[in-house]
């Protein structure tokens, strides 16, 4: 007897339900899927397992009951995604001929490229393979068993154990995302029915039961109301700046002008061992895009080099992982104190900053195979530099919740005019249907009440991410000795990137510092984008050498024809004073080193003055 069933089909287009029966042929079932998803005539397959195993053959003459497919089961549709022409596949010629895409507020690459490629970040692949168990030592008072046994008092805990996280010092307020994933995929089903779906506030398309909005809407296509909840997990658990120097260079703009500044954080993600299955965002460099800075505001401008910046960063092993923003007002210049502007009586993050953070997170989604769209949430972080209670500069890290990302993605959350810490959910109009958005609060009697989010406190969608510096400083981009290479887009400070500043920078470097001198992201971007330097087509070998910290390979790259041309150009400009950077074989001919008594810099030449501070040898 034929038994009617409903089978769920998950794909990057969403999840749909297919009505069928146990005696229906596999071929007919697959035809229903093709019609329901409106699949074009291209390669697509359906699998019984989430990891794309147990493929359902299109030529099978079997019935569904022979595949043991039952009511409520889920199968997985995988169709051919667009080819991902990412930066890693680009050759030298591409860099010269590529037309950059610009964006006023964000990155230049399409945000759909990452989800469509369905390639998870290395840190996500690594953590997904870890059990994350929290191992405990034998309790001398409660454990009465042998050294190789375990009991309830010493048995390993799951990475999402609430009691353990709360009792840590300091307490861990948010479970890590991969611990949250472990919680979802535990149990006898092993996460077979666990699906992470992004929230949508838009009317579902394709409904033919009524005229388009505003003339009609039904419960099938109408988005559900949303109740804001504090997110109990976070995608990034810690932010670490490699060293204070890169932050000091960023803050020097404010110190010299009194104007606020914004920059993109470039670095990597790594395992944060202080939180079970945690992720740390490590900041290696800060790139400042074109912007108009003011005392209390700033405006981002189109960046014609945005694509090149991301490409160079990727080729030397880092990526855009966040953004940083100053909100500083000096209080006492002699003491170096700043005003404490953000606290519980004002706000920690303004609605405008929150919306911008959500926009950045939407542009940089995390690939997640538990999601039908292959993306869920984001690891893109926000750092706000401001004054803390002791009137010293602090670095406050944040992310916004997935709910906030959805509100901003669908353009229904806007800032209020009078209160920076309050947001406002738009009302429905003839052009846009907006679902009701609620949040819970307590009235004057302490009773919990549900309120419409017009307005709403931004704190409901904020997730704090601690930011700090390591005890042992790290330098992915150590840079050269002496004055560093100028930062881009700082012309008003007299910091100009041109051939003259490039030649001066190269001339300042000691002969043994070739690798470190070229390991500067600002310098590499200039070399990759400067039309006056003949280097664009010869940089891949240098990028590989810097990524691997391979000094021999850097010397090998320095022997190419393009760099020789650059040397001749510098000689011509500086009247023949340019010292050609030698290869390793020539290094033995360098004069005896001497240490400056004034600044302790180790000089490599026999000069009578220090290359760092300029003071005499004696």
Are the C-beta atoms of residues 508 and 578 closer than 8 Å to each other? Answer: no
pLDDT at res. 612:
60
Lowest mean pLDDT among 4-18, 86-100, 406-420, 435-449: 86-100
Higher-confidence residue of 534 and 512: namely: 534
Lowest-confidence range among 71-80, 83-92, 506-515?
83-92
pLDDT at 91: 41
Query: Please, what is the angle between helix 402-409 and helix 351-363, to 10°?
Result: 90
Cα separation of 517 and 504, whole Å?
12
What's the rounded Cα separation, in Å, for the pair 295 and 444? 38
**What is the pLDDT confidence band of residue 67, given thresholds at 50, 70 and 90?**
confident
Q: In which band, very low, low, confident or very high, does the pLDDT at 462 lie, cut at 50, 70 and 90?
A: very high
pLDDT of residue 377: 95
CA angle, 544 then 519 then 98, to 5°: 60
Which band of pLDDT confidence, cut at 50, 70 and 90, is reported for residue 81?
Answer: very low
Structure tokens, 594: 């001497």
Is 320 a residue whose pLDDT tops 50? yes
Over residues 43-66, the pLDDT tens digits come to 788 888 877 788 888 777 788 888
Structure tokens belonging to residue 328:
């500083």
Q: How confident is the model at residue 469 (pLDDT cuts 50, 70, 90)?
A: very high
As a whole-number percent, the residues of the chain with pLDDT over 70 amount to 84
pLDDT of residue 110: 39
Q: What is the pLDDT averaged over residues 450-478?
A: 94
106-129 pLDDT per residue, tens: 434 434 444 544 688 999 999 999
Q: Please tell me the distance from the alpha carbon of residue 419 to that of residue 382, in angstroms, as a whole number.
A: 21
Domains of the chain in start order, with CATH, are: 4-79 (3.10.20.90), 120-204+232-413+461-471 (3.40.140.10), 491-574 (no CATH)
- Per the rule left: phi > 0, alpha: psi between -120 and 50, beta: everything else, 508 is alpha
Residue 194 pLDDT exceeds 80 = no
Structure confidence at residue 100 (pLDDT): 36
CA dihedral 497, 500, 503, 506 (to 10 degrees): -40
Asked if 535 and 528 count as a contact pair (C-beta separation under 8 A), the reply is yes
Q: Both tokens of residue 393?
A: 């500069």
Q: Can you tell me which residue has the tokens 């397992």?
A: 49
pLDDT band at 1 (very low <50, low <70, confident <90, very high): low
Residue 457: pLDDT over 60: yes
- What are the helix (H) ranges across 46-112? 92-97
| pLDDT value at residue 66 | 85
Q: Residues 185, 194: contact at Cβ < 8 Å? A: yes
**Residues in CB range of 51: below 8 A, 6 or more apart:** none
Q: What is the pLDDT, as a whole number, of residue 34? A: 86
Going from the C-alpha of 217 to that of each of 222, 464, 550, the distances in angstroms are 6, 38, 62
Q: Which segment of 147-151, 189-193, 219-223 scores lowest on mean pLDDT?
A: 189-193
Q: Which residue has the higher pLDDT, 31 or 608?
A: 31
pTM: 0.77
What is the SS3 string spanning 562-581? HHHHHHHHHHHHCCCCCCCC
**The pLDDT of residue 468 is above 60:** yes
**pLDDT at residue 414 tops 90:** yes
Q: Are the C-beta atoms of 23 and 2 separated by less than 8 Å? A: yes
Whether the predicted pLDDT of 103 surpasses 60:
no
Terminal Cα-to-Cα distance of the chain (whole angstroms): 102
Q: What is the pLDDT of residue 617?
A: 66
Q: How far apart are CA 220 and CA 208, in angstroms?
A: 11
Per-residue pLDDT averaged across 311-329, rounded?
A: 97
C-alpha to C-alpha distance for 435 and 102, rounded to whole angstroms: 32
pLDDT of residue 576: 43
| Average pLDDT over all residues of the chain | 85
Mean pLDDT lowest for which of 102-116, 240-254, 315-329, 572-586?
Answer: 102-116
Residue closest to 292 by CA, chosen among 524, 526, 490: 490
β 381-387/393-400 pair status:
antiparallel
Tens digits of per-residue pLDDT, 349-383?
999 999 999 999 999 999 988 888 888 999 999 99
Alpha carbon distance 532, 498 (integer Å): 9
pLDDT over 90 (residue 263): yes
| Sheet containing strand 393-400, strands side by side | 462-465, 393-400, 381-387, 319-326, 262-272, 278-287, 238-241, 467-468
Mean pLDDT of 404-433: 93
Pairing of strands 602-603, 319-326: unpaired
Tell me which H or E stretch contains 447: none
Question: 87 pLDDT exceeds 50?
Answer: no
DSSP state of 421: T
- Residue 440 pairs in a beta bridge with 450
Rounded Cα distance, 233 and 211, in Å: 40
Tell me whether strands 262-272 and 291-293 are parallel, antiparallel or unpaired.
unpaired
Task: Tally the C-alpha atoms within 13 A of residue 305's C-alpha that lie toward its C-beta.
Answer: 18
**H helical segments located in 457-529:** 499-508, 514-518, 521-529
For 322-377, give the DSSP string: EEEEE---EEETTTTEE----STTS-SS-HHHHHHHHHHHHHSEEE-TTSTTSEEE
Answer whether residue 390 shows pLDDT above 50.
yes
Asked which of 131-135, 171-175, 481-485, 612-616 is least confident by mean pLDDT, the reply is 612-616
Q: For residues 265 and 283, what is the distance between their CA atoms, to the nearest angstrom? A: 6
pLDDT class for 435, splitting at 50, 70, 90?
A: very high
Q: What is the DSSP string of 536-569?
A: GGG-HHHHHHHHHT-HHHHHHHTTSHHHHHHHHH
Q: What percentage of the chain carries pLDDT values higher than 90?
A: 54
| Confidence class for position 590, pLDDT limits 50, 70, 90 | very low
Tens digit of each residue's pLDDT (9 = 90 or more) over 271-304: 999 999 999 999 999 999 999 999 988 999 999 9
- pLDDT over threshold 70, residue 600: no
Question: Which pLDDT band, with edges at 50, 70 and 90, does 593 fall under?
Answer: low
What is the model's pLDDT at position 97? 37
Helix H or strand E segment including 40: none
158 pLDDT tier (thresholds 50, 70, 90) = very high
């Amino acid at each position: 007897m034929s038994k009617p069933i409903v089978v769920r089909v998950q794909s990057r287009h969403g999840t749909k339900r297919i009505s069928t029966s146990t005696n229906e042929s596999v071929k007919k079932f697959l035809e229903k899927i093709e019609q329901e998803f409106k699949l074009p005539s291209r390669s697509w397959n359906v699998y019984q397992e989430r990891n794309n195993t147990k493929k359902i053959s299109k030529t099978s003459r079997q019935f569904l009951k022979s595949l043991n497919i039952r009511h409520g089961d889920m199968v997985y549709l995988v169709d051919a995604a667009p080819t991902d022409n990412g930066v890693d596949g680009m050759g030298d010629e591409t860099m010269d001929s590529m037309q950059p895409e610009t964006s006023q507020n964000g990155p230049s690459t399409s945000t759909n490229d990452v989800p469509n490629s369905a390639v998870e970040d290395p840190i996500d692949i690594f953590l997904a393979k870890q059990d994350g168990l929290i191992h405990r030592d034998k309790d001398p008072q409660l454990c009465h068993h042998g050294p190789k046994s375990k009991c309830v008092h010493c048995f390993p805990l799951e990475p999402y154990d609430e009691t353990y996280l709360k009792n840590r010092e300091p307490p861990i307020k948010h479970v890590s995302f991969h611990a949250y994933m472990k919680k979802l995929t535990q149990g006898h089903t092993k996460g077979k029915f666990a699906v992470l779906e992004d929230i949508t506030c838009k009317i579902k398309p394709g409904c033919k039961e009524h005229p388009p909005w505003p003339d009609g809407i039904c419960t099938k296509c109408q988005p559900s109301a949303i109740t804001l909840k504090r997110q109990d997990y976070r995608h990034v658990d810690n932010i670490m700046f490699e060293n204070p120097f890169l932050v000091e260079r960023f803050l020097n703009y404010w110190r010299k002008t009194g104007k606020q500044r914004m920059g993109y954080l470039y670095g990597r993600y790594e395992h944060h061992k202080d939180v079970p299955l945690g992720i740390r965002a490590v900041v290696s460099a800060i790139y400042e895009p074109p912007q108009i800075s003011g005392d209390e505001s700033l405006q981002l401008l189109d960046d014609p080099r945005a694509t090149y910046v991301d490409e160079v960063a990727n080729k030397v092993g880092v990526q855009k992982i966040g953004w940083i923003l100053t909100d500083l007002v000096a209080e006492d210049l002699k003491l170096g104190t700043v005003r404490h502007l953000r606290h519980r009586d004002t706000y920690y993050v303004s609605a405008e900053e929150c919306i911008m953070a959500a926009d950045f997170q939407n542009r940089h989604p995390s690939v997640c195979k538990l999601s039908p769209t292959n993306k869920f949430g984001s690891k893109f972080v926000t750092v706000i530099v401001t004054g803390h209670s002791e009137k010293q500069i602090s670095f406050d890290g944040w992310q916004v919740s997935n709910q906030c990302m959805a509100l901003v993605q669908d353009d229904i959350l806007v800032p209020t005019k009078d209160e920076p810490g309050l947001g406002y959910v738009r009302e429905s109009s003839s052009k846009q249907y907006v679902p009701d958005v609620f949040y819970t609060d307590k009235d004057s009697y302490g009773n919990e009440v549900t309120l419409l989010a017009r307005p709403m406190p931004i704190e409901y969608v904020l997730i704090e991410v601690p930011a700090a510096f390591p005890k042992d400083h790290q330098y992915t981009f150590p840079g050269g000795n002496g004055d560093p290479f100028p930062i881009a887009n700082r012309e008003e400070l007299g910091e100009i990137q041109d051939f003259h500043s490039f030649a001066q920078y190269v001339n300042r470097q000691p002969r043994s510092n070739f690798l470190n001198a070229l390991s500067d992201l600002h310098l590499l971007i200039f070399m990759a984008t400067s039309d006056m330097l003949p280097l664009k087509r010869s940089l891949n070998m240098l990028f590989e050498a810097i990524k691997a910290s391979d000094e021999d390979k850097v010397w090998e790259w320095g022997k190419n024809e393009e760099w020789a041309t650059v040397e001749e150009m510098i000689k011509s400009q500086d009247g023949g004073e340019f010292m050609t950077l030698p290869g390793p074989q020539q290094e033995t001919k360098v004069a005896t080193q001497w240490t400056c008594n004034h600044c302790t810099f180790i000089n490599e030449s026999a000069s009578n003055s220090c290359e760092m501070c300029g003071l005499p040898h004696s």
